[in-house]
Structure 1
């Protein structure tokens, strides 16, 4: 029996974050979506304007007996640039912010600790925020994007492989063998 836990993370483009966590041992589900804004049931087109307040994010379900929340957060902080305010590379706007959306007080404390660990061991200061909000799944065509359309998309081909390399280099004992 698995010890199933859920978390929500925003690290820029949700296609990129989804691709990273699909390769992590113990992560059983990854769903792209939106969180942290005011508009109910936002669409991708609305999110892209930057006016809804939502972030592109992923909701992860993972087996906490296999991978801990702290490890998930360390992988999150280590595979995107948490020092960029409201952007990741060429993606600019609040919808691309670095944020952690804890689901309870224990996750909030772990999120604070993960940001502090990252700040201690790296150059620069993380601008990653800790926020709340209502989760909205993204449209179907955004789900499992890297496995389908993403590998034919020049943007994804430029951005996702370096993130996957960071994951494999820094967290090799947590990467699925067939990844």
Structure 2
């Protein structure tokens, strides 16, 4: 029997059949992406073992849903840097020319397509709640792009989708050596 949980911010989430610790919402308008509608998934959540998750996730979502296009433009430089770093690493390909010709860094968002929002608890160290946006992007078709916001407030990681919420976790280094996370 499928279960449901209720978020005060996004409403009803239904338990996934294949992953019983995943809970999916209906599509929700995301102001950060010009109100594009995306599904939100609570990941790695077992209600009987984490009594504070929903309240913490709701707080993180409330923070994240306050972010808008202006907030997105504030991180355009980081998204553009991710793109150029990848293109420089793989070498010249004429199909990437439009990316290399970007004049205004905010144009990078034309090449990024958000697919889903995940809310999860960091399994290591401070075990805070993170909002992770999975995206496809024109420069990294295989691994895409992820934007990760600690407590839904501030970007703490932008990278390919590698399964890690922080650079510290990805590269097994102290949080204070993680450039974006250490600024939180």
- TM-score bucket of the superposed structures, by smaller chain: under 0.3
Looking at secondary structure, tell me which structure has more helix per residue.
Answer: 1
Give the alignment's TM-score, normalised by structure 1.
0.26
Q: Compare CA radii of gyration and give the structure with the larger one.
A: 2
Higher strand share: 2
